[in-house]
A and B are shown apart, each in its own frame.
Chain A
Amino acid sequence: MEVAFYATLERLVGQRRVELPLAPGATVRDLTEALAATWPELAEHLFEAQGELSRRVNIFVAGRNVRWLKGLETRVEEGDSVAIFPPVAGG
């Protein structure tokens, strides 16, 4: 499964796209845990203290912020793009 990182998170990970050994149907929780295991410094961006998704990150599955889907329980299906951003805005 391919995950794309943008803005300051791309800097932190050191690359735009990473490949994770996860099959379609995996949840965002599986995905974030796999990421945190590979990049421990990402963990503080991904999770609040109680293992909830942090406000310092926005994860989009097929263009939808998982906050408006099922959060960490959102499933990533075959063909879904996954993009991870820090909060970004401008004007």
Chain B
Amino acid sequence: MKLSDFGQSIAHIDLSTGNCRVESAPQDWVEKFIGGRGLGVRYALEAGPEVDPLGPENRLCFMNGPLTGSEASMSGRWACVTKSPLTGTVTDSHQGGWSACRLRWAGLDGLVFEGQAENPVYAFIEDGEISLRDAREVWGQGVHATVAFFRERYGKKNLSVNAIGPAGENQVLFAAQVNEDDRAFGRGGTGAVAGSKNLKAIVIRAGQKKSEVSDSKAWKEARRQALDTIRDEANITSPRKGGLSVYGTNVLMNVTNTIGALGTRNSQLNSFGERAETISGEWVEQNLLVNDPTCHACPVACKKEVEIKDGPWAGLRMESVEYEPAWSLGSNCDNSNAASIAKVIDQCNDQGMDPIELGNAFSVWMEASEKGWVDEGEELAWGDEAAMVALTDAVAAREGVGAILADGPTRAAESLGHPEIAMAVKGQAVPAYDPRGLKGMGLGYATSNRGACHLRAYVAAAELGVVPSEADPLAWEGKGELVKTFQDLHAFSDSLDLCKFSAFAEGAEEYARQFAVAMGKEFEAEDVMLAGERIYNLERYFNNLAGFGRGSDTLPARFTEEPSTAAGSKGHVSELDRMLVEYYAVREWDEGVVPKVKLQALGIL
């Protein structure tokens, strides 16, 4: 497995005709857009930004990065890029587990699906060969049963299954794809796109391959330097010592609650008070944790497997009660029971749905019920766990109220005549950081190219004092530049494709060094930032062509007009307009639109 050969084996699969060909990506694309997210967006752009996301012309691109499946730490990821049915923007989502590595070990760098199969199919991949096979037997099955079915058929050894569940088949607009039972391409509705194409699963069989790099000594050294930063006890990634490693992502719950940035009851409140405790990472670790699984080549092991010991879901064993769903299904829905949160997350893994979007759809319906905007008999009370569990399956099946919520919180709120209660940007629901208490995160949501997202610009790392570039969470000044820097850095790491959490330890220097040695070329930290900027602008260009022009970078009025009532952020709103002025200036954009001269300067046009 020669790492510098990356990009030479991209499979194009036409599901309408069954034709499949493997070819090299244009060299120019690989140089400019690196791999993973960047290269995937370039392929998606080729289909045209105006395609119907659920039509056969839309492309569903699975793209490895140049480091995927290598010995580099946290390198087990791939990107899924497509035009989102939820937002109408380009979207990319990333997945841990082992599917990405196995694709690389099977001799392929990416898969570009287009068309629509007549009957349900799955792609079987081994030794660089791809075949489309009949999936009618598993159509209608959940992810867990689908994974079990393929393990039974092909054996467990060296096998990864990436599948959609009923939600994807029914084109729930926020359907996910899940591999290894619980590692998801979570956001943006990539599962609905797979469902629209009748693509049930991608099944890959391949054993681990060793990387070949021309300068093996330098490769070892570059990896060692990166690993040293991950292991450094000062970093949250430090194995079994850092907060991320010990508690997983849900180590955040108590801190966002403390600073008044934990949205509660559909963000009508900004803190969950003492009730945050029982949905926090610390509580889960002390009461439910049974195992700390990991991903390929990752010593952090932030995944947290839990077992529910009593109550109606006793015996449930699942991973993971991550911070995002613990918020979306927890304080956001006024629910302080970690067991019911675990139950709904596991249902989401099985049905193949994004729990962030689902929790926001619930909280919209709960607020509307409270205000009397929901028809009698269809109400959902705050914190009604049993109803949430029942409704989760109804959403996946598009039954009853579930059919309304299956189109996401934005459309659900619109259907009630109250679009203002959807906490969303460009049609995608906000994640777990209230922008009144973390101002940079709000700017990140508004300017994310895939709709509201915490991961495009994870400036919470600076605003919570985790990385050296710390920033006051309540100050708006300077956030324009900070958000741009984080967006560009993450656009690069998502293209390599390394786990996002590598950025809690590594930076542009470590990324550049590993990439340069792997590819056998000169590459410096400033090249990392330039490539990241190019990729971010490419996505924005896609969105501009898809109809997102001036005025598209917004936040719900609740965040800009209703002051926080919680300690830590009391009296604050998001000063989005001021931050946008700063942001557009550093981006050299015209009110959210990339000018031609910028596209030319970055080599996009």
Binding site for B on A (CB under 8 A): 6-8, 10-11, 55-56, 58, 60, 62-65, 67-68, 81, 83, 85-91
Contact = CB atoms under 8 A, between A and B. Distances in A.
B249 A90 contact: yes
A87 B568 contact: no
Nearest to A56: B234
B568 A7 contact: no
Interface residues of B, number: 47
A7 to B, nearest CB: 5
Contacts of B247: 7, 88
A91 B465 contact: no
Nearest to B499: A91
Nearest to B570: A63
Interface of B: 234-236, 241-244, 246-252, 254-255, 258-260, 281-282, 302, 322-324, 454-455, 458, 460-461, 464-466, 468, 470, 472-475, 500-501, 504, 566-570
B258 A90 contact: no
Given A6-B255, A60-B259, A63-B258, A91 B324 contact: yes
Nearest to B261: A63
Given A64-B568, A86-B243, A89-B504, A6 B466 contact: no
Contacts of A91: 249, 323-324, 454-455, 458, 500-501
Contacts, number: 106
A24 B281 CA distance: 31
B250 A90 contact: yes
A90 B244 contact: yes
Contacts of A87: 235-236, 243, 464-466
A86 B255 CA distance: 10
B264 to A, nearest CB: 14
A28 to B, nearest CB: 15
Contacts of A88: 236, 243-244, 247, 251-252, 255, 464, 466
A60 B464 contact: no
Contacts of B243: 7-8, 86-89
Contacts of B254: 6-7, 83, 85
Nearest to A90: B249
Given A7-B282, A90-B250, A55 B465 contact: yes
Contact of A65 (B251, B259, B566): B259
Nearest to B500: A91
A47 B461 CA distance: 21
